[in-house]
Amino acid sequence: MSTYSSTDTSVVHPLTPLGWNHRVERAFDAVASASAHPLLPARVASSRRGGAVVRLPREAAADYSPAVTKAAQADPSTAPCSGDWVAVRRSGDVWLVEAVLERSGSLVRQGVAKDSHDQVLAANIDAVLICEAADQGPNVGRLERFLSLAWASGATPVVAVTKAEMAGDRLPEVLELVESVTMGADVYAVSAHTGLGLEELSARFLPGATWVLLGTSGAGKSSLVNAVAGRSLMDTGEIRQDRRGRHTTTHRQLLRLPGGALVLDIPGVRRIDVPGAEEGVDRAFADVAGLAEQCRFRDCRHDAEPGCAVNAAVDEGELDVRRLERWNRLRREAEWNRSRGDARLRTERRKQWKAAERQARENAWRKRGR
Ligand SMILES: Nc1nc2c(ncn2[C@@H]2O[C@H](COP(=O)(O)OP(=O)(O)OP(=O)(O)O)[C@@H](O)[C@H]2O)c(=O)[nH]1
Ligand SMILES: [Zn+2]
């Protein structure tokens, strides 16, 4: 692995290799200057209910402070997650996470149960690498879903068509199909086995940038990262198969590529629900959304309304009707998820108001009693 090197002589922050930058520095300074305790910045590699593994830059286990725990109970999306920058302090012989610093792009999974909360899968990400295997389709509906999610995160999506050598002569056809739905996101045909396209893709992994991998199980994410790194950073399918039943879940979740980019490994993202953000869907479907803006009526449902630019494009063969149907479905899903999120928020606010009212009454009562 290459070591981090700075070309100038200024002092390099020890967390720079983990993606530390001015934005994070300002966020940390604001928290640290308001704290009664001396705090240190750290980045979360992985987290679970009561604590996290953080990098200071050395790796350490950290528990959550009562304030962080309380906030996470009220809203789990505030709990530390992979990629988060946090402020920690030493308390006796343990590290305590005192605050989660303000996030830039984060990948959010919609809560699925009724009144369930969104879950932040990865925080402070700059780019999302969507992996779709060339030998199994590819599945454009799935790609559109991943792209919507990625755009909603605020990070830049990049698509890797993995196992490209398996497509053989069909590769141009596969790429054409992929590119018909990627709307300007860059697409790379890669093979971890033959090395195809790895150099071009590697050039995208800029030092200090944080990437997250999306793709179904077996899409070749781990193999791709290992091939780019030139060594085994992640367990691939075969290795996990061998280890089944043994307690060897020691692999890291915040990886550093030789070029200095960071990769967050978020295991177990099977079904992806689009978050309650139609903007993500509309970015992924920029062609359809652009047409919809030209409809005569602002609230056009693109059914049988007169002056519907979307249907006109379908009639003229410029827009695939299946893509239109998939856009409608994802949009409805996003709208529904958002309205559910809004309803949950209203319930929570009501609870908070009630608690505040109760507190005010108690305070008044105590004052009177004095
Ligand atoms: N032919 C071919 N097979 C590949 C390539 N990359 C990965 N594979 C195979 O695809 C299977 C899955 O690869 P992984 O890298 O483990 O896939 P993954 O996306 O990390 O899977 P999860 O960790 O379960 O999400 C393995 O059997 C790999 O050997 C490739 O470029 N070409
Ligand atoms: Zn319309």
- 177 and 138 in contact (C-beta within 8 Å)? yes
Q: Which fold has domain 108-114+120-264?
A: Rossmann fold (3.40.50)
Ligand 1 in reach of 260 Cβ (< 6 A): no
One-letter amino acid at 70 equals K
Return the pLDDT at 335: 81
Give the pLDDT confidence score for residue 236 in this predicted structure. 76
Q: Considering just the CA atoms, what is the radius of gyration of the chain in Å?
A: 24
Alpha-carbon distance values, 69 to 19, 49, 79, 266 (Å): 26, 9, 8, 22
**Ligand 1 neighbourhood includes 191 CB (under 6 angstroms):** yes
- CA dist 345 and 351 (Å) reads 10
> What is the pLDDT, as a whole number, of residue 109?
77
Name the amino acid, one letter, at 49: R
How much is the pLDDT for 252? 57
- Is 219 annotated to bind a ligand? Reply is yes
Q: Where are the domains of the chain?
A: 16-102, 108-114+120-264, 278-354
166 lines ligand 1 (CB under 6 A): yes
May I ask the CATH architecture of the domain 16-102?
Answer: Beta Barrel (2.40)
CB 211 within 8 A of CB 128: yes
- Going from the Cα of 163 to the center of ligand 1, the distance in angstroms, rounded, reads 8
Q: Pairing relation of β-strands 262-264 and 210-214? A: parallel
Q: Is the dihedral of CA 80, 84, 87, 89 positive or negative?
A: positive
202's tokens: 């590697």
- Superfamily of segment(s) 278-354: Probable gtpase engc; domain 3 (1.10.40.50)
Return the number of other C-beta atoms located less than 10 Å from residue 101's C-beta. Answer: 24
**Beta carbons of 212 and 155 less than 8 angstroms apart:** yes
Q: pLDDT value at position 121?
A: 87
> Is 174:146 a contact under the CB 8 Å cutoff?
no
Task: Label residue 63 exposed, middle or buried (CB < 10 Å: 0-12, 13-18, 19+).
Answer: middle
Spatial distance between the Cα atoms of 84 and 82, rounded to a whole number of angstroms: 6
pLDDT, one tens digit for every residue, the chain (370 residues): 334 444 555 678 999 999 999 999 999 999 999 999 999 999 999 998 889 999 999 999 999 999 999 999 888 889 999 999 999 999 999 999 999 999 998 988 766 555 566 778 899 999 999 999 999 889 999 999 999 989 989 999 999 999 999 999 999 999 999 999 999 899 999 999 999 999 999 999 999 999 999 988 889 999 999 999 998 888 776 655 555 444 333 445 899 999 999 999 876 565 566 666 678 899 999 999 999 999 999 999 898 889 999 999 999 999 999 999 999 988 888 887 777 766 666 676 677 767 766 766 776 676 666 5
